[in-house]
Structure 1
Amino acid sequence: MEKPVQIHDFSEVTKFHGHSCPGIAIGYRVGEIALRELSSRAEDEEMVAIVENDSCSVDAIQFVTGCTLGKGNLIFKDHGKHVYTFLNRDTGKALRIYLKKSTDEMDPEFAEARKKVFSDSATHEDLEKYEKTRNKATEKILEAPVQELFAVEWVDAEFPEEARIFRSVRCAKCGELVSEHRTRVENGQMVCIPCFHEYSRS
């Protein structure tokens, strides 16, 4: 019989992230689903997470699932979408999770309070209301049924190559070390991306 995967308490995730908010709650719930459905936490690279945004939710996903940028099993695609795909290398299964509604749609009161607090005329009372509605919106996400928040489906996905370690070379311009596979060739020399002078006629 498979041993159930241990899921971190939400308070541990907020401590890691720095605060509690709807975004971190979304990531926490996504991570819970991934662990439950794939029956695995990434101790190494057996699980891969592909995230399509760089919001607060990604911190929770890293903490809960063990998929991290440093291990090479967290892949960021800058699509600006609350879409999360998890792949289990051991089983070959892939799970895609999509947030059905924005936090504004889920809680219009929180959306209005956030709009006020980030305006130039925000008062102390506006800040207090924002914090109160933020906490309420976060709790709502933590307690809502999965099917109300997310579309969850098994998908066919191409598994990415496992992370590789590349040698470092010195940039011919600044002299700093750069991973060989991220260099550019300029006038026959290897340079880092910030030093590279891109040519374009557009």
Structure 2
Amino acid sequence: MELNDAKLKQAVDFHGHLCPGLMIGFKAGQVALEELGVARSADEELVAIVETDACSIDAIQTLTGCTAGKGNFLIKNYGKQAFTVGNRNNGQAIRVALKYGALDFEENVDKEVRVKELYNKPAEDIFTVEKLDIELPPKAAIRDSVQCANCSEPVMETKARLKEGEVLCISCFKEGS
């Protein structure tokens, strides 16, 4: 498939290849941004909450600008191709979910044909769209680090654990349990 769409090309470059899963996320991300009336997040204006850990989430990241490192990309892996995108500026959120049966293709159809079919299929034939009234998570906070008494590595103080008067990182805390 020729990549004439610059945003799709960006998603493919990030993910590494074009596949039906990436196309699901690409189309879902487009729907969410359109429904919210926003463009890609420059910083932390948008929040994405995804219900899978599959290929589709790479397209959601590239389209929305939400990333794990900024703290505005959250994975709640429920095994569903469902994606919520929220706008922190006005509190609006949209959930876009794959319809059951939307990916029914004829047998032995190759990946490229499936991708083209998804690309050309109207979004309303693929997804349900729902406006949500949810509380969006706060912006990422920068916290001080403390030293783990066992491994000596720095750990964010909000993630540190206290055991017998010693500050431990989670992995050392679990090892000693």
- TM-score normalised per structure 1: 0.78
Identity among equivalent positions (%) equals 44
Post-superposition offset of 1:197: 3.1
> Structure 2: how far apart are the matches of 1:80 and 1:108?
24
Partner of 2:123: 146
What's 1:195 paired with? 172
- Supply the distance in 2 between the matched residues of 1:142 and 1:163 (Cα, whole angstroms): 34
- The answer for the alignment partner of 1:12 in structure 2 is 10
Partners in 2 of 1:8 and 1:91 — Cα distance?
28
CA distance in 1, matches of 2:79, 2:43: 27
Unpaired runs of at least 5, structure 2:
none
1:62 corresponds to: 61
Query: How is 1:122-201 mapped onto 2 (pairs within 5 angstroms)?
Result: 133-197=110-174
Which runs of 5 or more structure 1 residues have no equivalent in the other structure? 1-6, 111-131
Following TM superposition, by how much is the alpha carbon of 1:157 offset from its aligned partner in structure 2, in angstroms?
1.0
CA RMSD of aligned residues (A): 2.0
Partner SS, residue 84 of structure 1 = strand
- Tell me the matched-pair count: 172
- Secondary structure in 1 aligned to 2:78? coil
Cα deviation code 1:161-192 (max 9, x no counterpart)? 12111111111111111111111112211111
Task: Answer with 1 or 2: which has the greater Rg.
Answer: 1
Matches within 5 A, 1:1-150: 8-40=6-38, 41-101=40-100, 105-107=103-105, 109=107, 133-150=110-127
Distance in 2 (alpha carbons) for counterparts of 1:64 and 1:197: 37
Contact 1:8 1:64 in 2 (8 A): no
Contact 2:91 2:135 (C-alpha < 8 Å) held by counterparts: no
Give the Cα separation in 2 of the matches to 1:58 and 1:102: 20
